[in-house]
Structures are given as structure tokens and as C-alpha cells.
Amino acid sequence: MKVLVIGSGGREHALCWKIAGSQLVDTVFCAPGNGGIDFDANCVDLGVSDFAGLIKFAKTNDIGLTVVGPEVPLSEGIVDAFASEGLKIFGPDKKAAQLEGSKAFSKDIMKEFGIPTAEYGIFNNYNAARDYIGNACFDLVVKADGLAAGKGVIVTCDRDEAFRALDEVMLDKLYGDAGDIVIMEEKLIGEEASFIAICDGDNIVPLASSQDHKPVFDNDDGPNTGGMGAYSPAPVMDDKMFSDVMDKILYPLVRGLKKKGIIYKGVIYAGLMITDKGVHVLEFNVRMGDPETQPLLMRLKSDIVPLMLEVASGGSIRDVKLEWEPGTAVCVVMASGGYPGDYKKGLPIHGIEKADAIDGVKVFHAGTKRQGDLITTSGGRVLGVTSLGPDIKSALEKAYKAAGLIRFEGMHYRKDIGKKALIRE
């Protein structure tokens, strides 16, 4: 079978690499792909929102399954467009993708179905939002309702900061139209974890637990990014918590959505805050996490394609059990100088081959381009150096040894990925 993966980041590189190893697959295409995906799949020069071009490509090339990486085409209805042409595609439809496309929608669903989440208010009126800040008896997080490329959230420490954040989102339009509606949320204190699962509309198959590192600098300092590194499993999630997330969060969500006529098929990702009052949902995403996918797929022993194909075909995944490597996988993201702010592009990258040659290491590309033998930077997050080891300590040693072999002007990466897991172990 031929598979088409849509997207161009580290997550999509990991998906292409994993899918290319499937018994069922002979060719993987990726639209538009990146400089590293080019080695593991065939890149196709089509954008993620070019539905007409992608549908034509899938039909002409006899694609048996399309897998969507990022949230934007899902929110724009790519699954509905492919399905209406009789093409098999893995991902939630446009209605279901609102769960990520609108934070207000997502919060109201959580409230309606009793899913634990922070206290909140939703506002399209600036003065009403100011009043909420004035009356709040907890610190606030200010969120733009719509998609904002992984940004759109400002965590504040006092009332003045909350007023400033509101001004930035609603008046200065920091996140454009995404901030026409704002969500004000109680700031929760705890440790974060990512819980990613696959759903067929009724049944849910969880992937292993994982943890992202959002802030740009060591010790969780500095502004939030798309994610500077990840590891799996996340020891902060014990077995009881894991089954609680299934029973008290994911099943109530999927059953609740069904009651509203929304059949959830594809990946569901719960961003969690583990507080001393239990697990709370910070957000739902409708796709795999980036960079969580990189360590998750490195650990996944089972073939993922039959599972995706079953969901895309309208079948049941009730009896599926996934097998995992027992050790730990980590991913260290190497970013462009200046990221998450402005950064240069087109800088040559050296040493990837040497890093990749280390046993148990795979360098997944995110913002890269290939020009003949030369790989250059083309984005903020450039590479995800991913490794698998018998435990977190050895996985980290390998990943940092590999990262140490890679060079490009201005590069930076966190030196404390996995520290929380290391302390727990």
C-alpha cells in the first residue's frame, strides 16, 4: 500500500519513518515534507491546506491511506474533503477538530461532561474580561480562543500582568483574529504530562505516557515554545493515574461528543496538569504531539499502520494492544538562534550523519531543507535528536552525545531534558 503523510515537522518525520517500516506499506509520500523526510519518504511539493492538490495526488497515485500530522488542515476540514471523495484518511473531521480549533468549545465540552479542568470564563467583550480579572481570586492564564501556531497562551503571576496580557490579546491582536474571543483560566500548579491515544469513535487505545518541555530555557525559564524536548514514559504518571485518565477524561469526552453527534476518530491528545488535587486537562489537541511523537514512535514496537487503517476504514480497535520497548526514549530539540522569537534561515547544518550513526539514535528533522548533499535550517525548531536506552539516564547520555556532534550557527538546545524523570527514578 502507498501512504501519504501530510505535514513538514519533526512529528511528520517520525511518522514517515515509522510508517515506512510497516509490513503493509511499500511507499511513503509526504506533503510537503522537509530535508530529512526526503531520506525516509518521497516529498511532494504540496501545501497542507491545498486540499484539491492533495486529493488529486492521492487519486493519481493510488494512495491507500492518508495520515494528517498538523492541526490546521484538520480544523479546515481535510478529513471531510478526502472522505467525500471516497479516500481513506486518518484523523478527526472538522466538527471534532473544534476541540483544538476553539478553546472555548473545548472548555464548554469539559464542563458539560464533568471532565476536570481549571475554572474559567469566556469573553468576547473587553470590559467584561477586565471585570473577571478584577474579581478573580486566583492567578490567571489568558488564552486566545483560536489556533495560534502553538502560541496563544499567556501565563500570568498577578493581576497587572493579567490586565497586560488581556490588552495584548484583545486590543493589540498579538495572535490576530484567534484572540477575538479570550478564555481566562485559573492558573494550576503542578507537573505537566501528555496523554495521547487513538480513538475509533467508540474505543480508545492509549499510547504510552510522555512529557514535553515547553519553555525555551533550562529549569523551565523563558517564553513557551512548540516544545524543546520530550521523553516517554513519563514516571509522573502512575498506573492509577493512567487508568483514571482513560475512565474520567477520555471516555467521558468521546461518549459526550457522540451524544452531540460528533464521532471522534483519530488521535486525541490531552495536555494534563497533575496537581495535588488530581489530574486536570489544560487542553485537548486533535493530533499527535510534537516533539512527543518522536520518542513515542521510537518506543513503539507494534506496527501503527493497521490501527490507523482500521480507524480510517470505520472499523473497531477494541481488541488492539500496543507493544512498547520497555526502556525510555528521549528527544532533544535543537533550535535556531532567537527561537521562539525571530531567527535566521538557510544556515548550513553539520554533523547530522555522525549523530545518526550512534546506535539507538535517530535525528528527526523539523525545520530543514535539503539542497543536494547540504542540509540547511528553514525553521525555528530544526532537529529532534531522539534516542532509545534501557533507562532515562542512558537514553539522555546518547541523545546529548549525538547533539554534541551537530553544529549550526546560533543553535541552542535545553541541557536539562528529562531531568524531572531522572530525579523521580
Provide the binding-site residues for ligand GLY, judged by CB under 6 A: 150, 212, 227, 285, 289-290, 292
Assign residue 117 a region: left if phi > 0, alpha if psi is -120 to 50, beta otherwise?
beta
18-77 positions binding ligand AMP, by CB under 6 A: none
| 192 contacts ligand AMP (rule: CB under 6 A) | yes
Nearer CB in complex with ligand AMP: 271/295: 271
Mask for 260-299, x = binds ligand AMP (CB under 6 A): -----------x----------xx----------------
Distance set, CA 130 to CA 125, 134, 156, 269, 348 (Å): 9, 6, 14, 31, 48
Cβ 350 to ligand GLY shortest distance, Å: 27
Nearer CB in complex with ligand GLY: 179/291: 291
- How many Å apart are CA 162 and CA 153, to the nearest integer? 11
Nearer CB in complex with ligand AMP: 38/145: 145
| 100 contacts ligand AMP (rule: CB under 6 A) | no
DSSP states along 369-384: EEETTEEEE-SSEEEE
**Residues 220, 225, 228, 232: is their CA dihedral positive or negative?**
positive
- Of ligand GLY, ligand AMP, none, which one sits near residue 290, judging by CB under 5 to 8 A according to partner kind? ligand GLY
Cβ 97 to ligand AMP shortest distance, Å: 15
What SS3 state is found at 140?
strand
Q: Characterize 391-413 residue by residue with b for buried, 16 or more Cβ atoms within 10 angstroms of its Cβ, and e for exposed.
A: ebebbbebbbebbebbebeebbb
Distance set, CA 286 to CA 147, 297, 315 (Å): 12, 17, 19
Instruction: Report the candidate in 267, 290, 271 with the shortest Cα–Cα distance to residue 282.
Output: 271
Cβ 98 to ligand GLY shortest distance, Å: 16
Binds ligand AMP by CB under 6 A, chosen from 6, 188, 349, 375 = 188
Cβ 145 to ligand GLY shortest distance, Å: 16
Nearer CB in complex with ligand GLY: 93/212: 212
| 153 contacts ligand AMP (rule: CB under 6 A) | yes
Nearer CB in complex with ligand AMP: 40/192: 192
Nearer CB in complex with ligand GLY: 73/121: 73
Q: Characterize 117-131 residue by residue with b for buried, 16 or more Cβ atoms within 10 angstroms of its Cβ, and e for exposed.
A: bbebbbbeeeeebbe
Nearer CB in complex with ligand GLY: 185/212: 212
Cβ 74 to ligand GLY shortest distance, Å: 13
- Of ligand AMP, ligand GLY, none, which one sits near residue 282, judging by CB under 5 to 8 A according to partner kind? ligand AMP
- How many Å apart are CA 350 and CA 337, to the nearest integer? 16
Looking at residue 118, its amino acid is: A
- Say which residue the cell 492533495 belongs to: 54
Instruction: Report the candidate in 65, 74, 71, 68 with the shortest Cα–Cα distance to residue 93.
Output: 74
Nearer CB in complex with ligand GLY: 362/381: 381
Q: Which three three-digit cell numbers place residue 301? A: 514496537
- Of ligand AMP, ligand GLY, none, which one sits near residue 285, judging by CB under 5 to 8 A according to partner kind? ligand GLY
Cβ 187 to ligand AMP shortest distance, Å: 4
The binding site for ligand AMP (CB under 6 A) comprises 118, 141, 153, 155, 185, 187-188, 192, 214, 224, 271, 282-283
